[in-house]
Every structure is written in C-alpha cells, then in structure tokens.
Amino acid sequence: MTDGFFAMGGYAVYVWSSYGVVALVLIGVTLWTVLAFRRAKADLRALEAIAPRRRRRDTKESGHAQS
C-alpha cells in the first residue's frame, strides 16, 4: 500500500521531484518574507526608541536659546 503510494506507478522521480521543488520554493519564499518583515519591524522599533529622545532634546535646546 505505502509502497505503491510512494512508487507512484513508476513515476516517483517525476511526481515527487515536482512536488518537492514546489514545497522548497514556496516554503523558502514564505520564510524569506516573514523573517525579513520581522527584522524590519525590529529595526523600526529600535529606531523609534532613539528618535523621540533626540526630538525632546532638540526642543529643550531651542527653548533655551529663546529665553
């Protein structure tokens, strides 16, 4: 039964290699996309954590100059 299933009536090489390459490429593209998005979100969070501090300092400096 399982022997027959995996043998694919003698076409095992063709059937399994086509399904294999599809799995490889689709899983690969999905992982690449998800990991890149996660990295970008982390980078943005890191940047945004720095940015407001600098902005606050900027307004303080300008306020100081005016007084």
Q: How many residues bind other proteins (CB under 8 A)?
A: 30
* Position 37 contacts other proteins (CB under 8 A): yes
String of DSSP letters for 6-54: HHGGGTHHHHHHHHHHHHHHHHHHHHHHHHHHHHHHHHHHHHHHHHHHH
* Position 33 contacts other proteins (CB under 8 A): yes
* Interaction site with other proteins (CB under 8 A): 5, 8-11, 14-15, 17-19, 21-22, 25-26, 29-30, 33-34, 36-37, 40-41, 43-44, 47-48, 50-51, 54, 58
